[in-house]
Structure 1
């Protein structure tokens, strides 16, 4: 079992072009519509900030005193190690029995899509190995075989699953078919809906709050996406400019007057929902924890995400989630 010991630092841009991802609203069919598809759904290298493992060093000092002194020192170290192991065990994952784990899982995605990242958070937490097919936002040739033209699409042992929340529900049923309803189910459902209906809508106005932040985001996209040289130039400058204005429209649509205030309020709302618990699920994350973590993970190391952690209380929970979710279960396609 993979231990939950990775301080995840996946720097990815949140992509929320609502006409091409699950949970979207309709958009204009104008010429800018095509451009925004390119801009918002550029891919990024998932390994950009991966592999930075946290290393735990236990200093051992040689003692030249009595054997009792040596024994006491060693005993103290052993107690410290045991205590640290106990803390980590609280957040250790419990993968499902091998017989219920799907054998062949393939995710068709845009790397920066919050809904795709929500699915990946679930797969990573439950140690379900999966392959990733990055969809070209221009041609979408990778999903031409499907009647469903949005992402994420998850193929599970040959069965097509769509819509991030529905995908997670279906997988959850497969992993634990005999699960009984509990008192916490209503709370979990409430906050999962909050993620889809509220949290995701405050993210784009923050990412594209001004031209500087928009360019920061699109500079990363063009460095790692599936684009030709000409597409890269178009996406970086025209895309950043276009999304700056789109973010203003989103602010109006969702009655957001101050982008950062809305983001901070959402983060604090979530922390308040925890009500002193390590996770909404108690000692371990539930599906609502994984949903919030998944949609926030792409922005965590952008300026908006750094500001969020600096100005709200969400940082401790986020770090616990990084430890609990652990390393990616992604395998090479």
Structure 2
């Protein structure tokens, strides 16, 4: 009975869970030149090369000099070099993320770590027993441990990491960036649960993903998939009412179109490169991308091209084996 009753805890946990740039050839050449000129002063040139590839889709860099042997810089190259130097100052030895695989707030943090290529270990938390975080007074996820220091709350974690990467930047984000980060946390996240648990079949699809990627015993997986899916199907109806949602898909599509409108024709909200708002929106949407709700969203709105650019820019996961 204790295990079955634990599904109520799982349901509450899942409420939390639910609640490549195109560059011209000449520009590429200038970026490569700038990169090669700066690698001599970077302690981790392999990391730098990887960041170039993630940002601009470059293969092996090669150097050729301009007239008189001078190397030309573009403003984008200078910006990238500054970012690399900033990143080079923040090299934590041990980063551990305590998470639920499908939690949108956890995925926000992962998107940030992946984009900045900060290697991290994942500690998947059992949402029923939460034994993995018994050491902490904070009983929610995500929790990030950086060289033994505990950080909590996804937005606060990202702010602290960003300031350590950019210690000379006292302003974490501008007004536009701040506005849309708030929109992600206070609006976008809330339209997800009513969509991923919209029907019985979608609820089962979602829990199949959650239990396949989560930290469950075989017994917990079976109980959670069917009992949890049924519970969240009904919980999602309450969430729909709480957030004044009349049509789940319409709300999701509207949110996606609102985000695309916010880009104002830019590749990213941050311009030529993603900013923290881009990473937040991408992070919370990533768990649903290949569920029916996410597929419907991409097929019925304009968000797909931005999402694809984000996938290319964020690149491969920086996750390492624990």
Give the number of equivalent residue pairs. 267
Aligned-pair CA distance for 1:138: 1.6
Secondary structure of 2:280's partner?
A: helix
Q: Which range is displaced more, 273-282 or 82-91?
A: 82-91
Secondary structure of 1:111's partner?
A: coil
Aligned-pair CA distance for 1:220: 2.6
Aligned-pair CA distance for 1:89: 6.7
Q: Does 1:129 align with 2:119?
A: yes
Q: What are the ranges of 5 or more consecutive residues in structure 1 without an aligned counterpart? A: 1-29, 43-53, 55-79
* Equivalent position of 1:91 in the other structure: 55
* Structure showing greater relative contact order (alpha-carbon pairs closer than 8 Å, 6 or more residues apart): 1
Q: What CA distance in whole angstroms lies between the structure 2 residues aligned with 1:210 and 1:186?
A: 38
* Equivalent position of 1:139 in the other structure: 129
* Equivalent position of 2:41 in the other structure: none
Q: Is the 8 A contact 2:200 2:230 kept in 1?
A: yes
Q: Does 1:159 align with 2:149?
A: yes
Q: Does 1:318 align with 2:307?
A: yes
Aligned-pair CA distance for 1:35: 4.6
Q: What CA distance in whole angstroms lies between the structure 1 residues aligned with 2:16 and 2:159?
A: 25
Q: What CA distance in whole angstroms lies between the structure 1 residues aligned with 2:54 and 2:203?
A: 39
Taking structure 1 as reference, are residues 212 and 97 closer, same or farther at Cα in structure 2, changes over 3 Å only? closer
Q: What CA distance in whole angstroms lies between the structure 1 residues aligned with 2:54 and 2:103?
A: 30
Q: What CA distance in whole angstroms lies between the structure 1 residues aligned with 2:312 and 2:8?
A: 39
Q: Does 1:253 align with 2:242?
A: yes
Secondary structure of 2:316's partner?
A: coil
Which structure's residues are more often helix, by fraction? Answer: 2
1:41-76 Cα deviation digits (max 9, x unpaired): 89xxxxxxxxxxx9xxxxxxxxxxxxxxxxxxxxxx
* Equivalent position of 1:118 in the other structure: 108
Taking structure 1 as reference, are residues 192 and 39 closer, same or farther at Cα in structure 2, changes over 3 Å only? closer
Taking structure 1 as reference, are residues 246 and 84 closer, same or farther at Cα in structure 2, changes over 3 Å only? farther
Q: What CA distance in whole angstroms lies between the structure 1 residues aligned with 2:87 and 2:6?
A: 50
Secondary structure of 2:307's partner?
A: helix
For residues 42-191 of structure 1, the aligned pairs below 5 Å read: 82=25, 91-92=55-56, 95=84, 96-179=86-169, 181=171, 185-191=174-180
Provide the alpha-carbon RMSD of the alignment: 2.7
1:148-207 Cα deviation digits (max 9, x unpaired): 00000001121110000000000111110111549x700000000000000000000000
Q: Is the 8 A contact 1:108 1:152 kept in 2?
A: yes
Q: Is the 8 A contact 2:54 2:315 kept in 1?
A: no
Q: What are the ranges of 5 or more consecutive residues in structure 2 without an aligned counterpart? A: 32-51, 57-79
